[in-house]
Structure 1
Amino acid sequence: MYRKTSFTDSSSEVINKYRGTVSGRWFDLIILQIQKHGVNPLSPEHFNIPLESWSNCDRPVPVDGARRLLYWAVEQTGNPLLPVDLGLSLQPLDIKSLGIVLWSAASLRQRIEKLEMYQSLITTTTRIIFNQKAGTASLLLIDSDALDKQVNLTTHGMMALVSAVTKVIRWDNEAEITIHLPFEQPTYHKRLEDKLESTLKFSMSQYRIEFSVDALDQPLRTTDPELLQATESLVQKKLLMIEQSNLVLKVSRSLLELSPLIPPTTGEMASLMNMSSRTFQRKLTELGLSYRELVNKIRHEKAIALIESGDTPLSTIAYESGFGDLSSFSRAFKSWTGLSPRQYRNVQSCKVKK
């Protein structure tokens, strides 16, 4: 399990030990929401946002810091819907060049494909997966923190992200949206539904945003091919910088590209990362996890994504996730979720039918 960062850690320690990053613009937007409620924000250092990263207006910041700030903001304002207000306040220029790329896309399909491609510029701890089946398009949001059971600091962050993605879909688009949420229906569910202007389904297995495939290929009025081409090169450079500086992201991407997911040995992966095996293991230890734990996390993510994407046979999912047989896959999956793959699929199917 990842190490939990405390408020007493020094900035120099945190910058080397954070799990991942989010766009620093999230921090700015949270501050604006706090100020709307008349609350004076604390300094970035209180939430383990190193001043060296805070001083750069276009910087990624440790995800722990942004989520701690958001958690604190909800407590201080007494507004459980603050994360939703945060996400829905998102405008294209709030995420700078990435926002321009998404805004100038030719269609909603292209916008979503670009969002999936460049999602690490928004956050490196949540994977956004685009699926299309039986007349329904969906975005599955898999939060790696939730896989580590650290939900106390992730639910608010995930609701901000879900709301932001919903807002991005609706830039120049009026798609009817259904949102799946993996928690029980709260007392303020009606207010939540009104804000999101969507149908909400609670106690689902994952965060998911669904809408009709009919909306995917309709041209957008904001399309601008020249602006898209000019800006995307900058986005690609920013993405490369983030991936080069994030070992977990680099290893995860290498593993996700494998089909089936048969992981290289520790030494082989270290070589792919251009470092010795000892250095590779030491760097992962500093981040609070081992190579084996990281492989299991990625296998978990891949299995969940495949099960959620449709009717892929469980034997195929086991194979693609890197397991030699269905029984060993079932044992591993049950250790992750408390359910066998078949039970997980059946429970999800029953909930969707309701």
Structure 2
Amino acid sequence: MNHKKSVFDNALSVHAGWLKLLKPIGEESLIEAIRCNEEGRVNVQDLRSLLYQAYEQNETPIMLADIADTVESLTFGSFSTALWTARDLDSLLSVLQEYVIVLNAPVRLVYKRDRQGNAELWVLDTESLGNDSKVSYLGITLFIAVVIKIIHKVLSDIKVTLDVCLIEHRYREEENALLEETMHCTIVEGSPIRKLVIPKRFLHIPLTHWDKNLHFSCVNLLREEAERLKKDDLILQIYHFLNQQSHLVDINGRAIADELNMNLRTLNRHLSQQNTSYRGVVEKYKLEKALHLLDAGKVNMTEIAYQLGFSDLSTFSRAFKRWTGVSPMSIRQDAKIKDA
């Protein structure tokens, strides 16, 4: 099926493999209306609308697990092949984090280890905090389901139960129970950030389809495509600018716009297409940096507040609780309890 070529920002694009996964559940008229650009990438807003329409008809999130179950080693071309041929889960997760922009530009991943050595894969989107719609939430849920299915499939006969930590449940308890059974995972509510947690004992088990030459050939292709896509990613450019600052006390929209050689109105117009603004991007950056610093446990709370641009600790604590529903002190205390 030939889709009309359209012009849209690559920040709103995903790999064409997502369309392949969704075709069996979509109405033909909606499938035909999906926009693709000259590079063969698919418009994420169109795909989310297609997914939402199918969900409204099925009225069950199990549909997402069924879609994810169809993912194969060639679904996403060189991307999924690189994952299937990785040496172990640690290598797979590293590739997934580094080149996720090729798979899904509006999603960012952070791959890290907790203090016990378990793997954490933070799943972040581009929308302002607390501003994700039901449509985008379905898209993120499908993304997580596909990642889980890939992990299960590459592990083959090795059974692993993952923790899926969510900020909040949006499905009924019985639906969550079915998802847990179908996806071989445990869903945990109340996390300050969406993440998958994988026990450390599974991270270095040699994978069945490990192929060094094929894996690195695919990774080289991904590196080239990722670098091309990153050049046009405004949010990544803003994060890079913020990472260069020793603190965020004097950071404002004009400083960011000047760094990107555009005026503030133009910057916000581009960001609004991703359902955010410069304030939304900065706020999400502050949350992520706060979580890193709190988890590391090496910087005191007052210094964290200063680095993030807050006037005092109480102002930071109120903002953090507004973002996550929990206090920063409770995050640090949880980390200490796990260490004990």
Confirm whether residue 22 of structure 1 aligns to residue 11 of structure 2: no
What is the aligned partner in structure 1 of residue 229 from structure 2? 242
Counterpart residue identity of residue 287, structure 1: L
Report the counterpart of residue 268 of structure 2 in structure 1: 284
CA offset at residue 317 of structure 1?
A: 3.9
The alpha-carbon deviation at position 165 of structure 1 amounts to: 1.4
Q: How does 1:163-178 map to 2 (within 5 A)?
A: 163-173=145-155, 174=158, 175-178=160-163
Aligned partner of 1:70 in structure 2 is 51
Q: Scaled by the length of structure 2, what TM-score is found?
A: 0.80
The Cα of 1:286 is off from its aligned counterpart by 4.0
**Structure 2 counterpart of 1:181:** 166
Residue 114 (1) aligns with residue 114 (2): no
The match for 1:294 is: 281
Distance 1:315 1:218, change over 3 A: farther
Mind listing any 5+ residue stretches in structure 2 that lack a counterpart?
none
> 1:232 maps to which residue?
219
Separation in 2, partners of 1:251, 1:215: 35
1:160 pairs, out of 126, 142, 159, with 142
Partners of 2:107 and 2:124 within 8 A in 1: yes
1:1-354 → structure 2 map (5 Å cutoff): 15=8, 20-32=12-24, 34=25, 40-44=27-31, 49-50=34-35, 52-53=36-37, 58-59=40-41, 61-132=42-113, 133-145=115-127, 147-173=129-155, 174=158, 175-184=160-169, 186-256=173-243, 269-270=256-257, 272-273=259-260, 275=261, 277-278=262-263, 281-288=265-272, 290-307=277-294, 309=295, 311=297, 313-315=300-302, 317-323=304-310, 325-343=312-330
The TM-score normalised by the length of structure 1 is 0.77
Q: Which runs of 5+ in 1 are unaligned?
A: 1-10
CA contact (8 A) 2:128 2:280 kept: no
Q: Indicate the residue corresponding to 1:7 in structure 2.
A: none
What secondary structure does 2:164 align onto?
strand
Describe the shift of the 1:106–1:239 C-alpha distance in structure 2 as closer, same or farther (beyond 3 A).
same
CA distances 1:243-271 after superposition (whole Å, capped 9, x unpaired): 12332333234434656567766666456
SS at match of 2:77: helix
SS of alignment partner, residue 172 of structure 1 = helix
Q: Using CA pairs under 8 Å that are at least 6 residues apart, name the structure with larger relative contact order, 1 or 2.
A: 2
State the alpha-carbon separation in 2 of the partners of residues 89 and 102 from structure 1.
Answer: 16
Counterpart Cα distance in 1 of 2:89 and 2:21: 25
Q: Distance in 2 between matches of 1:90 and 1:317?
A: 41
Mapped partners of 1:151, 1:212: distance in 2:
31
